[in-house]
Copies of this chain bind each other. A is one copy, B any other.
Amino acid sequence: MRSLILDAARSIFLEKGYEQTSIRNIAERIEYSPGTIYLYFKEKDDIFHALHEEGFSRMLEQMQPLQFVSDPFERLKAMGRVYMEFAKNNKDFYDLMFIMQAPMKMEKNDEWVMGDRTLGYLKQVISECMATGRFQGRDVNFLSFTIWASLHGMCALYCRERCQAYHDEHIEHTALLNGGFQNFVDMLEKL
C-alpha cells in the first residue's frame, strides 16, 4: 500500500509538478479516499521525504560507473559532470533533493541517510585527491562544501529560472551551465 501511494505520488509529481501533487489527487489516482493515505503516511511531507530519498538513490546510481575512474581528480570532475547532468535531466527531483523546504521538516534523526551517503562519497574522493598532493592545506569539510555549493548554485539558479538574467545576451541556459562548470573546473585545477 505504501508503495502504491508512493508510485502514484511520484508519477503525478513528475508529470504535473509539486503544486499539483495533492493528497486528494494521489487518493483519486489510486482510487482510495484521502483519509486512507494518512494511515500510511503521517503527513504530506512524509511522502515527499520518501521521494527525496529515492532521488538520491537515483543520483548515486548514475555515479556508480565512476568508481572505475582510477585517478581521483578525474573522478571528482566526472562526479561534478554527472551531478549537473542529473540536475538538468531531473529538474523536479533535483529541486526536491536540494531546494525545497518540504522534505526537510522531518525529524531528521532517522533519515537524510542517502544525502549523507552522497556527501560522504564526495568527501572521500576529495580525501583521495589530497592523498595525491592536491588541495594541500585545505579542510575536507570546507572544501567539499565549496565544491558542492558551487555546482549547486548553478543548478539552483537554473531550476529556479534565474538564468533568465542572461536572456538579453542570448545565452542558452545549457551553455551557461557548461561554461560555468568549465570555469569552476579550471579554478579547481589551479587550487
**Residues of A with Cβ closer than 8 Å to B?**
98-101, 104, 108, 112, 115-116, 119, 138-139, 141-143, 145-146, 148-154, 156-157, 160-166, 168-169, 171, 176, 179-180, 182-184, 186-188, 190-191
Contact = CB atoms under 8 A, between A and B. Distances in A.
Contacts of A183: 138, 142-143, 146, 191
Nearest to A167: B108
> What is the count of identical protomers in the complex?
2
B179 A115 contact: no
B143 A148 contact: no
A-side interface mostly? helix
Contact of A146 (B116, B119, B166, B184): B184
Nearest to A191: B187
Given A145-B163, A148-B157, 4 more contacts: A98-B160, A146-B150, A183-B191, A187-B190
Contacts of A184: 146, 150
Given A149-B153, A152-B153, A183-B146, A165 B119 contact: yes
Contacts of A156: 99, 149, 152-153, 156
Given A98-B162, A119-B165, A179 B149 contact: no
Nearest to A175: B142
A143 B186 CA distance: 11
A164 to B, nearest CB: 7
Contacts of A100: 160
Contacts of A164: 104, 108, 112
